[in-house]
Structures are given as C-alpha cells and as structure tokens.
Amino acid sequence: MPAWQYIMSNINDTYFDGHYKKIWKSIIPDELTVKETDFMLQYFKLQPGSRVLDLMCGYGRHSLALAGKGIEVTAVDNLPDYINEVRNNAEAENLPVHPVLGDVILYEPEGNFDLVICMGNSIQFFHKDEVLQLLKKIAAHLHPGGYFLINTWSIMEIAVKSFKEKAWSMNGDLKFLVDSKFLFSPNRIETEHQIIAPDGTTEIKQSVDYIWSMNEIETMLANSGMKMTEVFSIPGRKKFTLGEPRAYIVAQRS
C-alpha cells in the first residue's frame, strides 16, 4: 500500500454522512446550481439526449437539473443516502438519471459521454495517483472532442490565500468548528471538523484535501489525453485570476 494512504482516511469515505449532509445542502445556494447548470448547457452545447457523467454527484443538484432539460445523466456517488435521494427524486419526476452507488476510482463507465463533471471540490479528495487513474478513465469514455469540467476551491492558487487554521460558524442550529493544518509531501490540508448539535452531542469528522497547482492539473490532464482549454472563476463570464475563491477548469479530449 502506498505510504500516502496512511495519512488520513479519505474524505470520500465517511465525511458526507451524519450532520454534514444537512450542512452541505445549506451552504450551496440554489442560484449557484442554476448558474452552473446553465453554463454547462450553453458552453458545452448540450441537447436533449446528450450524455453526461456526474462523478461524486452528492444529492444530485446538477444531475437532476440537467436531466430536467432532457440530458441523459449517469450519477455516481459512494454514499447510499445520496444515491437513494437521487433515485427517488428522478423517479418522482420521471427524469433520465441513472444513479450508481460506487467508488468513482473503481467505477467503470458504460459507453461514451459528451461531458463529464466533477463539481464541489470533489477531485481534491483524492491523491494524485488516484486522480491520474480517474482522468485516464474519463478521457477513455469521452466522445472525441468531449469535455471534462472540474470545480475546485483547493488548488494552490486559491488555498494559499484562503487557508485558515481555525474557524467556526453557525449553520442553523448546528455549531461548526474547523481545525486545519497545511502539510507537505504531498501538499494537503488535513482538517478536524466538530459539529455540535443543540443537545450538546458532538460529531467529529476528519478530512484531507490534496493541493495541486494549476500547472500540475494541466500536466495531469495532458498525461491523461485531455487538454486544459479555459479556467473561469465565474463559469462562462469571468476568467480565473490568482486568489479567486473558486475555479472552473474546462478540459477537452485531445
């Protein structure tokens, strides 16, 4: 087993169960999902019948919105609660969504796609070795000229400005405390999260976000058969500049 696997449990394994499911929904405004989905439809020229693969789909905010426009979506996540929610909502609205429960690194897609998306900082949950494996798989299942869209807020160009060792906030009736460390070899932010409920019970989560530079991401994409074409801070409207709070990275199959 590679040494990096001993650093911390992957955020992808357990982080989004428990209270954080509620917190995650509340911190992502609906209008952001609308803007991101509209960008995907227009920029990538998606039409009814286009195929999209949504990796780490969460509760399906993009999958369901795209499917509502007639896009055929395969939605993959490792959390059963999320996949059940996506399935129930898709069935209730008769939407063309195929939910898949599984680890995105091990998942083997069926057929080719016009667009693959990995949103909500999800790609930073994985070590570079795993990401390279994932990127090669994505490139192999994109139509010629197909696109890959990454949304992140943990690349080096963002993290060096936004990093805080300690922070706390209130989310509804939940108190959320964060204690982080910026570490190296590999570059990463390890965090302990405490979520305190009104009755005083505490839920403790540990997470790791791996940090790469934009140049490292561009190199990984190139080594996987994709070319980074544009980077936005506001999708489709504002190009990314140093220190912006988020990035939308567009890559195309070479």
For the stretch 57-108, pLDDT in tens is 999 999 999 999 999 999 999 999 999 999 999 999 999 999 999 999 999 9
Place of tokens 């405004």: 29
pLDDT at 3 over 70: no
Answer CATH for 158-208 from 2.30.30, 2.20.25, 3.40.1000, 3.30.450? 2.20.25
Q: Count CB atoms within 10 A of the CB of residue 215.
A: 12
Domain boundaries, the chain: 9-157+212-253, 158-208
Q: State how far the Cα of 178 lies from the Cα of 205, in Å rounded to an integer.
A: 10
DSSP state of 7: S
Q: State how far the Cα of 151 lies from the Cα of 180, in Å rounded to an integer.
A: 21
Q: State how far the Cα of 125 lies from the Cα of 104, in Å rounded to an integer.
A: 11
Nearest to 251 by CA among 110, 62, 118: 118
pLDDT at 12 over 70: no
pLDDT, average across residues 110-122: 97
pLDDT at 9 over 60: no
What helix, strand, coil percent values describe the chain, rounded to 5? 35, 35, 35
Domain 9-157+212-253: what homologous superfamily? Answer: Vaccinia Virus protein VP39 (3.40.50.150)
Q: Please, which residues bridge with residue 190 across strands?
A: 181, 208
